[in-house]
Each structure stands twice: as C-alpha cells, then as structure tokens.
Amino acid sequence: MIHETSSTALTDRQRKLSQTVREFADEVVAPAAYQYDTERRLPIEIIHQMGEMGLFGLPFPTEVGGQGEDYVSLCLAVEALARVDQSIAVTLEAGVGLGIMPIFRHGTDAQREEWLPDLVTGKTLGAFGLTEAGAGSDAGATRTTARLDGDEWVIDGSKQFITNSGTPITSLITITAVTDRHEDGSPELSTILVPSGTPGLTVGESYDKVGWHTSDTHPLTLEGVRVPRTNLLGERGRGYANFLRALDEGRIAFAALATGAAQGCLEEAVRYAKEREVFGHSIGRHQHVAFTIARMQARVQAARLCWLDAAQKMIHGKPFKAEASVAKLTSGEAAMANARDASQIFGGYGFLNENPVARHYRDAKVLEVGEGTTEVQLMIIARDLGFTA
C-alpha cells in the first residue's frame, strides 16, 4: 500500500485509483500471469480491460478522450500493476510514455485527431523506435535515415528492443531518423510516424528474453518505407530533444514500475514468512528473516518517495531530470535486491517460475538497464553535482 508523508500526500482520487488498479491486478492480472508468461504472449483482452478502465488515458485531457488526471496517477497505476506482473505494467508505461505522449505533445491537430482516440482508450498501442545496434544512450549515432522524395519520406534502417511494436493492436511506430546533417557533420534527428503494415516495415521475431516474457518486444527493419511528408512529428531536427523530455518523464514511470516490483516481492515475502513453519514455528520468527524483510520494506519506501518527489516536481513545472535519475537508480536497485531476498526466503519454491517472486527475479534485471542503464543514471546525477567525468 502507499504510505504517505506530508510532502507526497495523495488526493482522494489518487488513493481510490491506486486501490482500484490494485484490486484489478489481484483479481484479473495475477491469476493469469503465469499462463501468459509461459505462453510468452501479451494478453490483449487484459489490455482492452485496462483501456476500458481509462488507464491509457490517465494523464491526458478529456478533450482528447483522456481521463484528465496527472502523471502521478499514471505512475500509481503502473506501480499497482507491477506488483503482480511487470510485463503488463511496462505495456501501460511504454504505451503511454512512448506511444501516446509524443503525439499528444508534438503532433499536429490532424495527427492527434487521427491517432489519439484509439490510443488513449487502449484500443490500439503505439511504439517508439529509437534504439539501434549502435545507438541507444548515444542517439547521435543513429544510422536510420529519412529523405524527402516529393511529398513522401523514404526511410531506411533498423531498430531493436522496441516495446509494443508487434502486437495485434499496434497501430503505429514513431521512428527517429537522420533527416540531414549540420555543418559540423552532426546528425539532424527527426521523428516520423510510421503506421503498422506500411510496405517495407518488417517486424522481426520476438526476442527470447530472460524476463518480461509477456511484454511485446521486437527488432524492426525499414527498407524503402514511404510515408507522407505530413507524418513528420514535431519540428524537423527536434527529434532528439523531444525524445530526451520523453525519456526523463519515462524514468519516473519506470521507477514506479520498479517500486511496484519491489513491493510485490515484499508482500509475497511477508505472507510466506508468516505461513511457512519450520520446527514448530513460522520462519518469520527468525531474526534474520524478519530483518531481511524489514530491509525490503525500507527499500520500497525509499524508492516510492523518490519517484513521488520526481513526479511532483515534474507536474509543477520544476526541474526534475536529476530527481528522475535518482528515482530510477534507487527503485531499480530496490527491485533487484528485494527479488533476490524474496527468492531466498522462499527457498526452493523461489526457484519455480509459477512463483511470482521467481518471475520478479527474472524480470527485475531489466529495471537496471531499460530507460537508461544504472551507469547512465549515475552519470546524470554526477553531472548535476558539477562533475563532468
């Protein structure tokens, strides 16, 4: 449950939302999580239910079909889902932050009218194609190109690790591409909307991942892909700058996801430590087990306070880049540590995939990699402190 302080108090609406999503996660998502993890398939029926609940439209105004809430509300929903299934949580997090937000923020009226209605209601999903084999943290190394041929962009290149890019309901992918070169030779990066099914766009086979088996992740190949000139998203040459804003915001939601994973491990460990008996009493009576779980609680609370602080700064228009990195770093490490400790408390049962803590253990590693690695977060924090190394 959310434990508040005076500086991070939630509104009644936010508390109700958190409880509603928590109940949905426990009653609908959790019972199906092992099955879909084993099948390595995104349960579209659950995604549609989340859309009907308004989760994909949470941080968007009602005039575009959203719920008129804020980014804290989105993060609360992501955290509540991640307690039981990180794959479902990241589908929401990426669907909003990478699929919808760029179009809402930078799209033309025509683009917003065309794409937002189905995206904010969860009828369709959007993806963001940034990462390449040699370009991730270093987006300036992007090799995908887009050139104008009359009234069309012609796009060639490849992308990898693209979330929500190959689902049955994926409607479009926003692609970053080099559209020109500056005088100093540096790339002019722009973002272009590529509808699913466009000739020349090939969605590769789903990755064989360690974790997040239910999350949809594919490589993409673009060969002579042609889209209208009007599919340019935002100002030409501002693709990288626009992405950085989306990435900073995304780290907050990603931190909420990691906090939810850490919370889920904590809840499972508490339950098991009270139920499991050895030599006539529960294992929770052993000081080592009790102290391990106490540390897990401390990690969860620290992680939650970090993302709430970053989110509050963001929605109030204050600088939040460093705070987002602190939240992402703290929560990712908390999720990894809590997954390890919970698995240890469960013993052999913690090594079975049907056990939620085992899936958290597999899933949690990517929380130290996705949305910028731990090392990238340390670099950002160090720079904020005045260090240039």
The pLDDT assigned to 389 comes to: 60
161 φ, ψ to 5°? 60, 45
The pLDDT assigned to 225 comes to: 98
Q: Name the fold adopted by 241-384.
A: Butyryl-CoA Dehydrogenase, subunit A; domain 3 (1.20.140)
Q: Is the predicted pLDDT of residue 183 greater than 50, yes or no?
A: yes
The pLDDT assigned to 287 comes to: 94
Domain ranges of the chain: 6-124, 126-237, 241-384
What pLDDT, in 10s, does the model give residues 78-95?
A: 999 999 999 999 999 999
Q: Does domain 6-124 have CATH number 3.20.20.190?
A: no
Tell me the percentage of the chain whose pLDDT exceeds 70. Answer: 97
Q: What is the mean pLDDT of residues 138-144?
A: 83
CATH code of the domain made up of 126-237 = 2.40.110.10
The pLDDT confidence band at residue 278, using thresholds 50, 70 and 90, is confident
What pLDDT, in 10s, does the model give residues 26-44?
A: 999 999 999 999 999 999 9
Q: Is 368 a catalytic residue?
A: no
CA-to-CA dists, residue 343 to 194, 336, 337, angstroms: 42, 11, 10
Q: Is the predicted pLDDT of residue 136 greater than 80, yes or no?
A: no
Please indicate whether residue 69 or residue 1 has the higher confidence score (pLDDT). Answer: 69
Q: Is the predicted pLDDT of residue 254 greater than 70, yes or no?
A: yes
Average pLDDT, the chain: 94
The pLDDT confidence band at residue 177, using thresholds 50, 70 and 90, is very high
Catalytic residue from among 69, 267, 268, 371: 371
Please indicate whether residue 346 or residue 244 has the higher confidence score (pLDDT). Answer: 346
d(CA 41, CA 53): 21
What pLDDT, in 10s, does the model give residues 195-231?
A: 999 999 999 999 999 999 999 999 999 999 999 999 9
The pLDDT confidence band at residue 19, using thresholds 50, 70 and 90, is very high
The pLDDT assigned to 155 comes to: 98
d(CA 191, CA 183): 20
- Burial class of residue 62 in the structure, from the number of CB atoms within 10 Å of its CB (0-12 exposed, 13-18 middle, 19+ buried): exposed
The pLDDT assigned to 3 comes to: 47
d(CA 101, CA 61): 12
The pLDDT confidence band at residue 137, using thresholds 50, 70 and 90, is low
Alpha helix stretches (DSSP H) within the chain: 12-24, 30-39, 44-52, 71-82, 86-94, 101-106, 109-120, 239-275, 287-315, 321-346, 356-364, 374-384
d(CA 282, CA 173): 51
Please give the single-letter amino acid code of residue 273.
A
Q: What is the mean pLDDT of residues 186-201?
A: 96
